[in-house]
Structure 1
Amino acid sequence: MNTTARYARYAILILLGLYSILSFTREDYGRATSLSNTSSELSFNESPDELDLDLDTLGPRANATLLMLARNSETDTAVRSVRELEDRFNHKHHYPWVFLNEQPFSDDFKTRVSNVVSGSVEFGLIPHDHWYQPDWIDEEKASQGRQKMVQENIVYGGSVSYRNMCRFNSGFFYRHPIVQKYKWYWRVEPDVHFHCDIDEDPFLFMENNDKLYGFTISAYEFHSTILTLWDTVKEFIAENPQYVAEDNSMGYLSDDGGNSYNLCHFWSNFEIANMDLWRGEAYTKYFEYLDSTGGFYYERWGDAPVHSIAAALFARKDQLHFFDQIGYEHHPWMHCPKGAGLWSGKNCSCNPSSSFDYNGYSCIRQWERIQ
C-alpha cells in the first residue's frame, strides 16, 4: 500500500472514530463512564483513600455508604441491584458500598460485586449476638407463636431467620464496626430496581435541608404480625415523654391522636437516613424497651414499623422526606414519579399508571394529609 493510500485509510478511520463519539447518547455515556470506573482489580477491603480515584474532583460528598444485607445465595440479584444503582446514580459519585452477612461472603460474591461498584467496597460478618435469637427468649412461647402464624398463612410466619433479620435491622446494623464510620446510609436490597436517573445527591439534599429519614413507598403493616407493638410503644412513650418531638408525625401513624395505630409505615427496604437518629438516646432506649418484651420473636415485629414509628415520633415532621423523584421497585410494589416533568426528565422506564402510590394498600395519602 503506497503512502497516499495509507494516509487516506487513516483519515477514514479517524472520521469514523469521531462519528462514533459524536453519536454517543447520554445513556451510552453513562454506561461507558460507569464501566470505566469498575473496581474489578480492587482488593475486597480497600478504603476510598487507597482507590485510584481523585475524590476532590467529584465535588462535595456526604459521609455516607450504600448498605446491603445479603446472602451468598443472592449473588445474582445483589449484583443486579448494585449495577442498576451504579448506572442510575453512583457512577457519578463513587459512594462506598458495605455488604453484611451472618455468614462469611463467598469469593464469588465478593468478586462479582467488586466488579460492578465504582467506589470502595467492604464485606462484613455480623456478630453472632446481633443476629441470632437471644438465649433469654422463651423458645416454647416463640414456637407456639410461629405455629399459629403458619396456620393463619402469615407471610414469613414460621421463619426464625426472618425475625433475626428484622431485629438486626431494627437495632444493630448501625452498630457494625464497618458501618460505624459513616453518618448516612442508603439501604439497598437484592432484587430491587431503580427506574429513573437520580441526578441530585440524596445524601447532600438531606444533609443540607435538615432531613433525617427518607422513603419512597408507604404501606399498611399486617396487623397480625404486630398485635402488641403499639401498646408497647405507648407504654414507652408514657414513661419517656421527653423523647417525643414537637410537630411530630403522629397524624401519619394514628387517626385518633395516638390511641390506636392505623398500621401505616414506611417500607424500609428502601430508606435513606441519618444513623444519628438510631444511635441517639431516644431510639436506643426505645429499641431496648421493645426488644426486652420479646416481640420480635413472640410475634413478628418488622423493622419497617419499628423504624417508622420512631422516625415519626422522635423527629419533626419536616425532617422526614418522600423521595418522589426516585423510581423504585421491590416486588410486588413500585413507586414511579408522579411530579410534573419528573418521569420524562429523569429518563424513567417505569409505568406511572402502575405506581403503588394510590393503590388501596398505600399510605401515601395519609402522609400527604399531614403535610
Structure 2
Amino acid sequence: ISIKSKIGDLRLGYNHMCKFFAIMLPYHPLISSTFTFYLRLDYHSYLLGPPLTYDLFDHMQINQFQYAFLMVSTDELKFVRELWVLFQEFLNDSCIKPSSAVKKTQITAATGLYSQAVVFNNFEVSNGSLWRNEPRIHAWLRKVDNAQGIYMYRWGDAPIRTLAVTQFLDDNQVLKFRDIGYFHRREYTCSSRMHSCSIPSYHRLASHIVYREGCHPYSNPLCHYYQEKI
C-alpha cells in the first residue's frame, strides 16, 4: 500500500506517532519483556503537583487496575471519520455486543450517534500485556491497522484506545487519577488536593483550556464514569 498516495497533506510523522502509541508501543522490548506496567508522558507534558506520596505502579497492581488516565476530551469529527463504522463492523463480525461502558460513554443518548468522547492518553498508565495478549483487543488493533485509517483519515491513538478500554475492560479495571495536576500543550487540570496550580512559565502567554476535574467539556460522558482516585 502506498501510504504517501493516501494521506494527501497529512503529516506522515504524526501518523506514525499515532500508530506507535495506538498499536506498537506494547511491543517495545522494555515493555514486552521487562516491565509489567508503563507510564506514558509526552515530551511536552508536565506534572503540576503535588508531589506523589505513593507508587503509581504499586497502586495499579495492588488494586488490579489495568488502565488509568487523568483527563477526558472530545475528538473532532473529521479525525474519527469512519472509525465508529469500523468499530461497529468489528463487533458485528465478532458477534460481540456493545458493553455497558460503550453504551453510556461512546453513544450519545439523545441521538444514538458516536459521542467522540476520548481518554486523553498522552498520560496513561497501563499493563502492557493487555494490548498484546487480550485476544479481542489484539483483534481490534489488527482491524484498525489493516484499515489504514490512521494514515487516510488521521485517526488518533486516543479514540482507538478509548474504544478498546470502554469495550473490553471491566469498569473496575479502569481508574481516573484526580490527585495529579497535569499540563499538555495548552490543556491542563489541577490536582483535587490543590485549590489551584501553576502552569510552566514559558507557556503562560498562550491561551489555555482548563479541564475541570479532568473533563472537557464537563458534561463529557467519560468524565465521572470510572472510579476516581482523589
- The answer to whether the aligner puts 1:141 opposite 2:6 as a matched pair is yes
Letter paired with 1:289: K
Distance 1:258 1:273, change over 3 A: farther
Change over 3 Å in CA distance of 1:364–1:327 after alignment to 2: farther
Higher relative contact order (CA 8 A, sep 6+): 2
Identity %: 21
Aligned residue in 2 for 1:167: 19
Select the structure that is richer in helix. Answer: 1
Task: Give the TM-score, by structure 1 length.
Answer: 0.53
The equivalent of 1:239 in structure 2 is 93
CA distance in 2, matches of 1:318, 1:364: 22
**Are 2:185 and 1:298 aligned?**
no
Structure 1 residue 321 displacement after superposition: 0.9
Deviation at 1:164, TM superposition (A): 0.7
- How far apart, in 2, do the equivalents of 1:208 and 1:249 lie? 26
Deviation at 1:363, TM superposition (A): 5.5
Higher strand share: 2
Q: Distance in 1 between matches of 2:104 and 2:64?
A: 21
Q: Is the 8 A contact 1:230 1:260 kept in 2?
A: no
CA distance in 2, matches of 1:277, 1:173: 12
Alpha-carbon distance between aligned partners in 2 of 1:288 and 1:259, rounded to the nearest angstrom: 26
CA distance in 2, matches of 1:320, 1:258: 27
Structure 1 unaligned runs (5+)? 1-135, 147-157
Larger radius of gyration: 1
The alpha carbon displacement at 1:221 in A equals 0.5
Q: Which amino acid counterpart does residue 170 of structure 1 have in structure 2?
A: A
What amino acid is aligned across from residue 167 of structure 1 in structure 2?
K
Give the 3 Å change call, closer, same or farther, for CA 323–255 of structure 1 in structure 2: same
Amino acid at match of 1:263: Q
Alignment of 1:1-371 (within 5 A): 136-137=1-2, 139-143=4-8, 146=9, 158-181=10-33, 182-196=35-49, 197-242=51-96, 247-256=100-109, 259-279=112-132, 280-338=134-192, 342-343=193-194, 349-350=197-198, 355-357=210-212, 361-362=216-217, 365-368=220-223, 370=225
- CA gap of 1:194–1:364, structure 2 versus 1, over 3 A, is farther
TM-score (norm. length: structure 2): 0.83
RMSD: 2.6
One-letter amino acid matched to 2:194: W
Measured against aligned partners, the alpha-carbon deviations of 1:292-340 in whole angstroms (never above 9, x if no partner) come to 11101111010011111101110012221110001111121111023xx
Ranges in structure 2 where 5+ consecutive residues have no aligned partner = 200-208
* Matched pairs, number: 214
Distance 2:111 2:176 in 1: 22
Asked if structure 2 preserves the Cα contact closer than 8 Å seen for 1:264 and 1:363, the reply is no
Residue 71 of structure 1 is matched in structure 2 by none
Equivalent residue, structure 1, for 2:206: none
Q: Which amino acid aligns with 1:174?
A: P
Amino acid paired to 1:311: V
How far apart are the structure 1 equivalents of 2:18 and 2:69?
Answer: 18
